[in-house]
A and B are shown apart, each in its own frame.
Chain A
Amino acid sequence: MSAELSTQVHFAPEFLRRLGLRIEKLRAQGLLRYTSQPSDLSPASGGKLRGLTAGYELDRIRVWRSGDDPRQVDWAATLRSGETMVRVVRGESAPECTLVLDASLSMAVGQPTKLQRAAELAAWLAAYLLELGGRVHVVVHGASVQVHTASSRAQLSGLLVAFQGIRPAGRWSAAELANSIPQRGHVWVIGDYMSIDPWASNGALCTRRTRGGLRALLVLAPEERDPQQGAVLWRDPEDRRASVAHIDSALQAKYNAELSSELDKRASALRQMRGQLVVVTSDGAWDEQCVLLDGAL
């Protein structure tokens, strides 16, 4: 018989220690913090800033000086003034990121549960963004929708406490998901959403566009990623439907192909929205999965 699905998120001391170590490592790397000072977008401020900021605000227009990037030339102003003019921009006051966390009952599957791993990775994302001076909103879709906000490093612990109170319950819909995604800032949607296809051509999010960028973290249980052979009574935790499957190597291969196809479809839909899909399993190495997320940031 299956275990009852009631395990709530719990951050073990070992996990908190590893999270702290990663934050210290991040600080040691001296990553650029966001600033409201005007920037000339010199090459030194490239990469990381460009990836994380949702956009830049125009600070002023001035005359071109030697060494300026030709791409900064404001051609309209140049034509009007007769001199070569360049645009001086500054980053937005702080990056804003929304973590939409699926805490429906299906996230209780797996050992550790998918919700546990989702919360651990969300904790890392929140810590990373707060370190960069960003503002983080966490929208938890469980039995009800809860929103938590943190805007400084000091508020990370409050977020972690909020994560630890999450218990898987209920089920979420594509419409609810769409409603919880803001139009501005970065958005990370974290969950399994295997029963819904939010980014399909007719999905609820196909017309939803975020100004910053949409990224999705899809968490699978080990048995969902790599089912073992044998007779199994599969049961859906949300609607309690059940089916018996006698899994042999052939069926295993078919399932894997079907799963890959589904994941490809989701990744493709996200790419069309200039988004990105990251797939992890709940029993994978957390540190390695954090590196995957770092790459997607």
Chain B
Amino acid sequence: MSFLAPAWLWLLILPALLLFFQARSGEERWTATLELWLRLRTVRPSRQVRWRLSTRMIPLPAALACVLVALAGPVWRTHASEWRVYVDARPRMWLVEQGRTRLEHALDSCSAWLERHGASARWYVDGREVARGPRLDTSQVPMVRRRGASFDAPDVEGVLWVVDELPTGVVRHAGVHVAPRSAQAGPVDRTSLGEQWWSGEVVELRPMAGAAPRVELDTQLPRPLQDLVHAWALSRGLDHDPNASGELVMRVRNHAAPGWVQVAEGAVELGPMPPAASVGGDAAAAYALRIGEALDAARLEPTGCVPVSGRAGAGSSYVVEPARQANSSNRDLAPLWLVLAILLLVMAVRHEL
């Protein structure tokens, strides 16, 4: 159980004081036989009090305590106020700002926020859970190098985003931790034509120092598919020569099932061309387009390359608070405490009458 307004709990000193004074004075009762007690000579003067805690003294201070606890906003967190944090892990997050990566800046901000709220989190990268706990180390974050990858995260209650820019559109429910982002000149892409370099204002084409990035093809791949991949690699400025020495940005594997297409990070599995596509015409064109899209989606960014959209400056870091603090798994316990307070109050009144 935790409290939304724990400051009220300081007032618990009041029922404690009430109980203290009651116990100090002992229980006061009326009697018409006081003379008998005095005659026994064993009673003490009223100033010399003895301590005594009676069950009759409990209900009133307990009722007061329950009211104060209710005011403090007790909630039962069935999942310990667990937030879902979606981390943008594209290469742009590894660009360095003031000596630390953008990812480190945003993760620190998010972790501090979670600790301040006494909450834990489940961390997601590219739609997959990578860790649980109040903190996430950058070593636990796999870089998402797919060239076509975008940051996708739900805008719902109980969700936080860790990014280097506020996505377009209005964020209604999620909290956002935005890393600082200055304009960073550097490579945007590498192809057989050369290296595209963003100077901070324009993109320049520079001659490449090394070999062009390459595609690795499975030798078992059917011939028509090999031709298709070769054509795609040529159009993207990638080297498909088996003896090429450039950086590997794509692997194409063979699969037994006809028409099979499966995309992974830097890898695509392709099955034999289905009979419908073998006859040519629109079906063949559609199939080729589909294969091209799959290869584009799986291709990795060359090391160090970040698109212009990730290199342009956007300003310093900031935090967008989530619309609601409490996770939907919280259960409000205040009514329960109030009912308990009423019951105790009734008990106290019955004792007094």
Interface residues of A (CB under 8 A from B): 1-3, 5, 7, 106-109, 114, 192, 194-195, 220-221, 223-224, 230-238, 241-246, 251, 254-255, 258-259, 262
B40 touches A254 (CB 8 A): yes
Distance from A273 Cβ to chain B, minimum over Cβ atoms (Å): 23
* Residue in B25, B35, B40 whose beta carbon sits within 8 Å of that of A251 in the complex: B40
Q: Provide the residues of chain A in CB contact with B140, threshold 8 Å.
A: none
Assembly CA distance A251 to B37 (angstroms): 9
B45 touches A194 (CB 8 A): no
Q: Provide the residues of chain A in CB contact with B353, threshold 8 Å.
A: 3, 7
Q: A223-B31, A237-B30 are in contact. Are A3 and B352 (CB under 8 A)?
A: yes
Please classify how large the interface on chain B is, using the bins under 10, 10 to 19, 20 to 34, 35 or more: 20 to 34
Distance from A110 Cβ to chain B, minimum over Cβ atoms (Å): 8
Assembly CA distance A223 to B37 (angstroms): 12
A233 touches B32 (CB 8 A): no
Distance from A3 Cβ to chain B, minimum over Cβ atoms (Å): 5
Spot the interface stretch: B50-58, B65-73, B118-126, B129-137. B50-58
Residue on A nearest B31 in the bound complex, by CB: A234
Assembly CA distance A243 to B32 (angstroms): 12
B48 lies within 8 A of chain A by Cβ: yes
A195 touches B32 (CB 8 A): yes
B32 touches A221 (CB 8 A): yes
A224 touches B48 (CB 8 A): no
B31 touches A221 (CB 8 A): yes
A to B CB contacts below 8 Å, 19 in the list: A1-B22, A2-B30, A5-B30, A7-B353, A194-B35, A194-B36, A195-B32, A230-B27, A232-B27, A234-B34, A234-B43, A235-B29, A235-B30, A236-B31, A238-B32, A255-B37, A255-B40, A258-B39, A259-B33
B244 lies within 8 A of chain A by Cβ: no
Assembly CA distance A107 to B34 (angstroms): 14
Within 8 A of A (CB), among B46-85: 46, 48-52, 54
Within 8 A of A (CB), among B167-201: none
Assembly CA distance A7 to B353 (angstroms): 9
B42 lies within 8 A of chain A by Cβ: yes
Distance from B52 Cβ to chain A, minimum over Cβ atoms (Å): 4
A258 touches B36 (CB 8 A): yes
